Amino acid sequence: MSSITVRNPFDLSTVGEVPLMSEAEAFAALERAHALHGDPAHRIPAHERLAILERLATLMRTHAEALVRDAVREGGKPWADSVVEVERAIDGVRWAARELAQLGGREVPMGLTPASAGRLAFTVREPRGVVLAISAFNHPVNLIVHQAVPAFAAGCPVLVKPASATPLSCRNVLRLMHEAGVPEAWATMLPCAAATAEKLVADPRVAFLSFIGSSRVGWHLRSKLAPGATCALEHGGAAPVVLDASADLDAALPLLLKGGFYHAGQVCVSVQRVFAPHETARTFAERLAAAAAQLPTGDPMRHDTAVGPLIDPREVSRVHEWVEEARAGGGTVLCGGAPLSETLYSPTVVYDPPQGCRLARNEVFGPVVAVFSTRDRDEAIARANDVPFIFQAAVFARDVDVALDTARRLNATGVMVNDHTAFRVDWMPFGGRGESGMGTGGIGPAMHEMTTEKLIVLRSPAWA
């Protein structure tokens, strides 16, 4: 295979071809990036990086519609949601510029002992080195911004391997970076084979790995890193929601509808498991199902489509297998529960699937929400925590003490109170623990992780 054929996940038509980079070409790009980092003469001053980021944001605004169009055609996220994604990506570039202006060191106190007298100590932040970013398909514009832009802003050359399903958006973003003034060797797309990417990960010239994808692949790649290299891994989870007896269910319903079925559930923090008191669980599940059944599902290019295709027909078959397993175990399918076509799966709500089924324990990554009946809040929290994933969770409660207590007890890196699990703004820290990953995403946190702290101690009698 000499190129990647990019297909529209809705109708499977060909929308583009991207040349496949050979292993030799990929390692040549790594050597160029490594040489840039090692030569002070090629470093780009902060003020120039700031100017480039400002131009990039302007260029992305100018080309926003084209960015949206290609993202929809190759990734299948509905048009309206892709418009929001591109807006977020533009804001992310601007936020990187703001973070760069704040990226600095700190004073380390001296003179606290006789031995430390006469010294001034402070730290500065320096780029770690070459960043290798391996990306995912589900946010094809914004994920590239979240991986490549912080690297450049922090002063690190970056190599980006896009998801094989969505390389066009990556190419679009990097071309705009180059047009804005980023030298091509500082931000290079690597549309290479998985085996080549794995060899790159193990190369000692890679200082930082940014990986978004499956847990199995992420932890495997981490094991291949050279000594001294660091990483940030984002693997997703099976996001839980606890509905307290005091919750405003009318307010919760549209939020959980959006959080569960946005991008056909192909989001790492999609609402998947809702735990509700047994007095209201079935009624709430039926209301959610009635709303889900009305979601416009189909061609993502239509501006009124709410739920588009899954990224690959094999995913439609897999999701249906999980739903059938939940049904066979005693779960009640209240809506959906069947493929609509080779590429579309109907928005589905399952009531009380068995705790041991995959839908109850693993990330479905499809348009399926499970609602569970629980005796009390303690049981809801225990069942929410009874998975190996630690990512974002949510609680709905009008009682503030209950909300805070639940937020404290939920095993999560982020808890949304009276909001869905998929809420995110680009300056907040974002990432998982356990099987969900390690390290912290978000524009500012990523820039911090892509730099390292150097201590400088100045000894001078004038400072005594």
pLDDT tens string 159-187? 999 999 999 999 999 999 999 999 999 99
Token pair, residue 372, equals 């569970």
Among 252-256, 423-427, 430-434, name the most confident range: 252-256
The rounded distance, in Å, linking the Cα atoms of 109 and 122 is: 8
Q: Is the domain of 228 the same as that of 252?
A: no
Percent of the chain with pLDDT over 90: 95
Given a cut of 70, whether residue 50 has pLDDT beyond it is yes
268 is catalytic: yes
Q: Is the domain of 47 the same as that of 109?
A: yes
Total of domains in the chain: 2
CA distances from 350 to 121, 137, 268, 332 (A): 60, 26, 20, 5
464 belongs to a structural domain: no
Given a cut of 70, whether residue 407 has pLDDT beyond it is yes
234 is catalytic: yes
Write the CATH number for 148: 3.40.605.10
Q: Is the domain of 172 the same as that of 60?
A: yes
Instruction: Write down the pLDDT at residue 464.
Output: 79
The model carries a pTM of: 0.94
pLDDT digit string, tens, across residues 375-400: 999 999 999 999 999 999 999 999 99
Instruction: Write down the pLDDT at residue 226.
Output: 96
Find the mean pLDDT for residues 39-65: 96
193 belongs to a structural domain: yes
Find the mean pLDDT for residues 89-95: 97
365: left (phi over 0), alpha (psi -120 to 50) or beta: left
Q: Is the domain of 100 the same as that of 132?
A: yes
Given pLDDT bands bounded at 50, 70 and 90, which one contains residue 130?
very high
Find the mean pLDDT for residues 297-315: 98
Q: Is 50 exposed, middle or buried (0-12, 13-18, 19+ CB in 10 A)?
A: middle
Instruction: Write down the pLDDT at residue 296.
Output: 98
Q: Is the domain of 441 the same as that of 306?
A: no
Given pLDDT bands bounded at 50, 70 and 90, which one contains residue 1?
low
From the list 156, 170, 268, 357, the catalytic residue is 268
61 versus 462: which is more confidently predicted? 61
Which domain range does residue 13 map to?
Answer: 3-235+436-457
From the list 74, 85, 99, 234, the catalytic residue is 234
Question: Any idea what DSSP says for residue 213?
Answer: S
Given a cut of 60, whether residue 17 has pLDDT beyond it is yes
423 belongs to a structural domain: no
- Torsion sign, CA atoms 351, 240, 342, 327: negative
